[in-house]
Chain A
Amino acid sequence: MADLKTLVLGRKEVAELDDEHELPHELMTVNMGPSHPAMHGTVRIVLTVDGERIVKGDVQPGYLHRCFEKEAEHATYTQIFPYTDRLNYVSPMINNCGYAMAVEKLLGITAQIPRRAEFIRVIVSEVSRITDHLTCVGASAMELGAFTPFLYFLKAREWLYTLLEEVSGARLTHSYVRVGGVGKDLPAGWLAKLEVRLTELEAVMVEVEQMLNLNKIFRDRMAGVGAISRADALAWGQTGPIGRAAGIDYDVRKDHPYSVYGEFEFDVPLGTTGDCLDRYLVRIEEIKQSMRILRQAAAAIPDGPIMIDDGRVALPPKAAAYNTIEAMIRHFKHVVDGIKVPAGEAYTFVEGGNGELGFFIVGDGTGRPYKCYVRSPSFVHLSTAEKIFHNHLIADIVPIFGMINMIGGECDK
């Protein structure tokens, strides 16, 4: 039997110690969240731990559940846009676009959306994708103790939010896109401002990558942590940066091109190991690819209308609504009854910040959807968390959860 002195001095290998000195251990249940800084205030995990090792983690979402679908069933098609802003509130423009495209598909007007509106949608979507990734990477780095990248990235994110605010009038809940086009045109000189900000963002990216990529603490906490195999990622329905980090070559913008994405050159980064470090690297590369798309779109954007010329869908111009009875009635019917969408059902999906963001809408011929389901990537990704946590340490929850990038509004609907 090893005496206490030997144990304290650590002279013996662990394997040499006999069982009598093993610390008594039993499984313990620990509650993590919802009031926990790393849980974003919206998720509770009931952990069963053996010491620091996780045996089981029961992930319980729902603390931010507002029943988006029930609200949507009672709102006109136009009134749903503010609700979509509040799904993924880090990249609301992509939600706006995805929802608008779903309604347009049911109306059968997808091909008639003006080209300038499509370009504007691509531009605001890509700006939103960058803000989404900046938030995810910045916040995750902060949770691992790297506070400076967080501040640098939030500074850059604020530049982009300011740009989107100039376009839409709201910093966060834009409600900018409309069925049939977009709400208003880009302000004069906006694209030049965007280029200035993109150049500044490039400098920030260099700074942050220098701080993180070869940082020993950051790498130790991320590399090899939370790995998921390609086969598992497929079976669990993973898309977006998480799926691509696991090696799934799937990006809706490439595989089912929508809007004008088919006209741009960009690459889809893929990981090999599917761990947290790969997810981080994929996101960083996607920011750069989004900047590539933005520059091409800014150079190629055509002039023209930004709203479809179709009385069933577009509001009449204000001058006409105030001066002619026909336009006033149309305006009234549009606002009170909503856009009449024919009976039918369609699933439309776009590449959201986190993955495949889809809207499954059932119309019944009235101005309100009969059903409006949202396929939220965060919900699908969070469902794998329990599988990923297994056999990791409690401390690993923080980077895993950070890189899953669960957005409460979207996950809890």
Chain B
Amino acid sequence: MAQKVVDALKAKFGDAIVATASAYGDEVVTVKRDKLTAIATFLRDDPAMAFDVPVFVTAIDLLDWRPIGARGAPDPAARPAYDPGEHNDGLRFEVCFQLRSLAHRHRLRLKVQLKETDAKLPSLTPLWAGFNWQERETFDMYGIRFDGHPDLRRIYLYDEFVGYPLRKDYPKDKRQPLVRRPDLVGDH
């Protein structure tokens, strides 16, 4: 459905497109981090693209990614398992921006891959105001920083919370007491 969007992106931003995929009716385009803002601006402002609606932002932590195929063996068709420093350059996080166009009825998922040691990317809130809280949520849950976000604070959790609960290395049953630290508020 949105194949022509993918083609247009490839034509215009050739080497900034890391990968494209199409599965289950979703078009996915993985882009380089330093071209994210330019590509997103093009997607929003070009009349043939007209992605005017922000749908969601989230991240995928690939730390435990070991896809399994039909007989319990590793799945050759899926993306390879996470391997710090080796095959995929230690790219641990994938940030997903889902966009939709009301006029053209097409949808697109923009992805940016990030290293664990350098987990930050430009914020898209200046382009789509609706991403404001969603980026805060992604920051809160995964510790990914959005540069240029107007108000990057934790949103569900309290400022004193240590760690990022949706990272795969955060134990599900971990508990931590809330000790008030006024010096932390709004600053990480």
Using CB atoms and an 8 Å cutoff, list the residues of chain A in contact with chain B. 60-62, 65, 67, 69-71, 73-74, 105-106, 232, 234-238, 248, 250, 255-256, 342-347, 356, 358, 360, 362, 364-366, 370-371, 373, 375, 379-380, 382-384, 387, 412-413
Contacts and interface: CB of A to CB of B under 8 A. Distances in A.
B94 to A, nearest CB: 9
Secondary structure at the B interface, as helix, strand, loop or mixed, is loop
A338 to B, nearest CB: 12
Given A360-B98, A365-B67, A383 B132 contact: yes
Interface in B99-115: 102, 105, 107, 109
A360 B102 contact: no
B119 interface: no
Nearest to A356: B55
Given A345-B23, A383-B130, A365 B56 contact: no
Contacts, number: 117
A241 to B, nearest CB: 16
B12 to A, nearest CB: 23
A62 B156 contact: yes
8 contacts: A65-B156, A105-B24, A235-B130, A236-B130, A237-B54, A347-B55, A371-B58, A375-B98
A373 B56 contact: yes
B61 to A, nearest CB: 8
Contact of B133 (A74, A364, A380): A380
Contacts of A250: 102
B84 interface: no
A73 B61 CA distance: 12
A413 B75 CA distance: 31
Contacts of A356: 55
A61 B156 contact: yes
Interface in B109-126: 109
B105 A255 contact: yes
Interface in B122-147: 128-134, 137, 141
Contacts of A236: 54, 129-130
B67 A375 contact: no
B58 A360 contact: yes
Interface of B: 23-26, 28, 52-56, 58, 60-61, 64-70, 75, 77-79, 96, 98, 102, 105, 107, 109, 128-134, 137, 141, 155-158, 165-166, 170, 172
Given A343-B77, A346-B24, A358-B55, A237 B128 contact: yes
Contact of B24 (A235, A344, A375): A344
A346 B77 contact: no
Contact of A366 (B68, B77, B79, B137): B68
Nearest to A105: B24
Given A343-B68, A346-B23, A383-B133, A62 B128 contact: no
A379 B98 CA distance: 16
Nearest to A380: B130
A277 B46 CA distance: 35
A390 to B, nearest CB: 13
Q: Please indicate which of the listed interface residues A106, A248, A365, A379 has the most CB atoms of chain B within 10 Å of its own CB.
A: A365
Contacts of B55: 237, 347, 356, 358, 375
B172 A74 contact: yes
Contacts of B23: 344-346
B75 A365 contact: yes
A383 B149 CA distance: 14
Given A106-B24, A344-B78, A364-B65, 15 more contacts: A62-B156, A70-B165, A74-B172, A234-B53, A235-B129, A237-B128, A344-B24, A345-B26, A345-B28, A347-B55, A360-B96, A365-B68, A370-B65, A379-B133, A384-B130
